[in-house]
Amino acid sequence: MGRRILFLGPPGGGKGTQAKMVRRALGVPHVSTGDMLREAMASGSDLGRQAETYVSVGDLVPDELVVALVEERLAREDAAGGYLLDGFPRNLPQAEALAEVLGDEALDTIVYLDVDEEEIIARLLKRAELEGRADDNEETIRHRLEVFHGETEPLIAYYGDRVRRVDGTGSVEDIYCRIALELAS
């Protein structure tokens, strides 16, 4: 079994950006619940329609939908040799569900990308201009940050000493080097 890594961090923390770089280096699949939900929304599937009402206002999509999505994805053959989870688990019930399905060995390293709120808001407003993502407006960004503090941040304590805190500010390349060092140690 290869590496089983989780990227944890605030919205706009750069999880997606860095996960794509690490995936290339390690050759494990990048499992992003945000990307999977956006694909479902773009396809207009039942799941997509259900997810849209939550994502568009910055709320988390109900656990049972996301857990089923991830469970199905991790059961595929390409995940047998490890994976890089991005954006899941995002709260304690999701972390407990993952542990129930795959056991305590579901994750070996948790990379926490640390970025302050001012920088996050600036990044996401810039992405709103470039990509026009529906959930990147100032009101929704503030709500996503509240959800992050209330629901996702407690995972840092839950995972304890498996968490490697990485400074998520600076150039994309510098951050990648910091992550690579943590993953090598």
Active site residues: 15, 90, 127, 133, 144
Scan residues 27-66 and list those touching ligand B4P (CB under 6 A).
33-34, 37, 54-55, 58, 60-61, 66
Q: Any contact of residue 17 with ligand B4P (CB under 6 A)?
A: yes
- Closer residue to ligand B4P in complex, CB, 73/144: 144
- Closer residue to ligand B4P in complex, CB, 17/137: 17
* Cis peptide, bond prior to residue 11, ω within 30 of zero: no
Scan residues 61-120 and list those touching ligand B4P (CB under 6 A).
61, 66, 87-88, 90, 94
Strand pairing partners for 164?
111
Count CB atoms within 10 A of the CB of residue 57: 13
Q: What amino acid occupies position 7?
A: F
- CA dist 71 and 86 (Å) reads 14
Nearest CA to 157 among 8, 5, 4?
8
Q: How far is CA 59 from the centre of its chain?
A: 14
Q: Any contact of residue 3 with ligand B4P (CB under 6 A)?
A: no
Binder among 29, 50, 121, 127 for ligand B4P (CB under 6 A): 127
Residue identified by tokens 């040799």 is 81
CB contact at 8 A, 182 and 7 = no
Span of 14-22, 41-49, 75-83, 98-106 interacting with ligand B4P by CB under 6 A: 14-22
Question: Which residues of this chain interact with ligand B4P, rule CB under 6 A?
Answer: 9, 11-17, 33-34, 37, 54-55, 58, 60-61, 66, 87-88, 90, 94, 123, 127, 135, 144, 172, 175
